[in-house]
């Protein structure tokens, strides 16, 4: 058990040194942290002229809490799928292209472990950074007391979105084994699907399932102050079901990716 753990740690350290060397994480952290700060500055500027500005910020009865929680991070959502795709390109597709995966697979490592390690890093690093930024924003940038439910919805949206984008991009990386194809796919998914999903014909659940973070933001941004309308209850149920579907899609994609990778020919 201890030896297995040491093996996993060694693989993890190589993965980190290979794919996340300076300034990948540092740059990503800076980018993510700048988003709430810039959003907060805009919010403060917009309301600071009001005579009741202080009350506006302190009390949640204006419905400020949920909306601004979302606004704070929403600027980042469009980039989320692209950033995840770029990370997958860095970690998985690049090692196919430059041949390191071949070197790695001459050591006594399981293919499943190799890929899971990459996916875990791709999910945990941006999602962890976004979570910490989000909490940082709540504590310091927008000093309110947001509802626990709102925070949960936003964080779930972040994690499920990143998991979905990561598994989808990883599938593309394993199939194409190309950095460019993986990155282009991320760009396309990030920019094209929101446009397609904005069509009112598309059911709300599909929208939630394919872009959970956007859906979470839209739900919070449109909340009525101090009460829940029937339509909002329906939206909340859609959100919950959509999150579940998104999670299921991610797990199915992960299973397919692992299955393909264990059977793929390396350097053939």
Partner 1 sequence: MTHRFIVEVDKISKNFGPVQALDEFQLKIEPGLFGIIGPNGAGKTTLLRILLGLIQPSSGSARVLDMDISQSKNIRERIGVLLENPTLPKAMGAREYLSQVIKIYGSNTDPDELLELVGLQDATNRQIGHLSAGMRQRLGIALAFAGNPELIILDEPTSNLDVSGREQMLDLLSHLYHKSRVSIIIASHILSELERVCTHVAFMNRGKTVVQGTTNDIIEKYAMDRYRIRCSDAHTLSQQLDGIVGIEDIRVLGPNIFSLRYEESIDSIELQVRQEAESCKVQIHRLEKTATLEDAFREVIQ
Residues making contact with partner 1 (CB under 8 A): 3, 6-7, 9-11, 13-14, 17-18, 21, 98-100, 102-103, 105-110, 263, 265-268
Q: Which is nearer to partner 1, 28 or 168 (CB)?
A: 28
Could you identify the residue written with the tokens 């599909």? 206
Q: Which is nearer to partner 1, 203 or 267 (CB)?
A: 267
Q: Which is nearer to partner 1, 35 or 182 (CB)?
A: 182
CB of 206 to partner 1, least distance (A): 38
CB of 261 to partner 1, least distance (A): 12
First to last CA, the chain: 34
User: How far are the Cα atoms of 21, 56, 138, 236, 240 from residue 229, in angstroms, in the given order?
Assistant: 48, 23, 26, 11, 17
φ, ψ (nearest 5 deg) of residue 225: -70, 135
Q: Which is nearer to partner 1, 111 or 197 (CB)?
A: 111
The angle formed by the CA atoms of residues 205, 206 and 210, to the nearest 5 degrees, is 115
Asked if 253 and 168 count as a contact pair (C-beta separation under 8 A), the reply is yes
248 CA to centre of own chain = 16
Q: Which is nearer to partner 1, 13 or 38 (CB)?
A: 13
**Nearest C-alpha neighbor of 143 from the set 76, 214, 72:** 72
CB of 84 to partner 1, least distance (A): 22
Asked if 181 and 96 count as a contact pair (C-beta separation under 8 A), the reply is no
CB of 64 to partner 1, least distance (A): 46
CB of 126 to partner 1, least distance (A): 21
């Amino acid at each position: 058990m201890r030896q297995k753990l040491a093996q996993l740690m060694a693989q993890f350290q190589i993965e980190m040194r290979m794919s996340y060397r300076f300034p990948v994480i540092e740059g990503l952290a800076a980018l993510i942290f700048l988003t709430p700060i810039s959003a907060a500055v805009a919010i403060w500027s917009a309301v600071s002229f009001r005579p009741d500005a202080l009350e506006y910020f302190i009390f949640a009865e204006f419905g400020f809490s949920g909306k601004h929680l979302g606004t704070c991070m929403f600027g980042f959502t469009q980039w989320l799928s692209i950033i995840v795709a770029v990370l997958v390109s860095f970690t998985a597709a690049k090692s196919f292209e430059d041949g390191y995966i071949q070197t790695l697979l001459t050591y006594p490592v399981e293919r499943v472990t190799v890929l899971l390690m990459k996916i875990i890093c791709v999910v945990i690093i941006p999602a962890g950074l976004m979570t910490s930024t989000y909490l940082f924003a709540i504590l310091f940038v927008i000093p309110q007391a947001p509802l626990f439910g709102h925070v949960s919805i936003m964080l779930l949206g972040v994690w499920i979105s990143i998991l979905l984008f990561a598994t989808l991009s990883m599938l593309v990386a394993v199939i194409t084994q190309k950095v460019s194809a993986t990155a282009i796919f991320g760009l396309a998914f990030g920019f094209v699907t929101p446009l397609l999903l904005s069509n009112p014909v598309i059911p709300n659940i599909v929208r939630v399932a394919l872009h959970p973070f956007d859906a979470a933001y839209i739900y919070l941004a449109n909340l009525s102050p101090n009460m829940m309308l029937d339509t909002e209850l329906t939206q909340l149920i859609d959100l919950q079901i959509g999150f579940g579907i998104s999670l299921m899609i991610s797990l199915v994609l992960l299973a397919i990716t692992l299955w393909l990778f264990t059977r793929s020919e390396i350097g053939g």
